[in-house]
Amino acid sequence: MEEVTKKLPAYGKMLVTRLNWGNPPDFIYVCVGGDAFRSAQKHNKQPGTSALVLAPGQDPSSLHWPVSGIPVIVEWDGSAPVGLIQTLARCLLKPSALSVTIYPTWVDYTTPAYGFDIATQRFVQLRETLRIYGRRASHVHA
């Protein structure tokens, strides 16, 4: 059976060239949402980082993610559904990204993430939080 070569995400060729030169970035950003391309361009200008884009309508599992051994930060503006972000995180961990951090960019991190609900006598989540997954994560949820 012939193996089909998967396409690289936007800016993937630039990252592969950098890796081939033996110059891996400290972090790889995967930008998702309406401002993804502008955000990726900004990160690609920094010497210690590289950025990729999951373009609107793309299936993360149809792409080749050259992230092995490197920490990845997913910049999520909230416009993509949670399920897509979960699939993306799994796809990034599959080629052994060192870690995957889901960074919701719209969140005001000065507000509490959890609060105590007097009615249920439990702590409840009040806003989205930063989530970090390692290579051994078998269950990714947002």
Sign of CA dihedral 20, 23, 27, 28: negative
Mean pLDDT of the chain, nearest integer: 90
Q: Are 140 and 90 in contact (CB under 8 A)?
A: yes
Give the tens place of pLDDT for each residue, 15-58: 999 999 999 999 999 999 989 999 999 999 999 999 999 999 99
Confidence at 2, pLDDT banded by 50, 70, 90: very low
pTM: 0.85
- CATH code matching the domain that covers 12-134, chosen among 3.40.50, 1.10.10, 3.10.450, 1.10.8: 3.40.50
Look at residue 100 and tell me whether its pLDDT is greater than 70: yes
Please spell the DSSP secondary structure of 70-90, one letter per residue. SEEEEEE-S-S-HHHHHHHHH
For the chain, first and last CA: distance in Å?
36
Strands (E), 22-113: 27-32, 49-54, 71-76, 99-104
pLDDT on residue 4: 54
Amino acid at 60: P
pLDDT on residue 135: 62
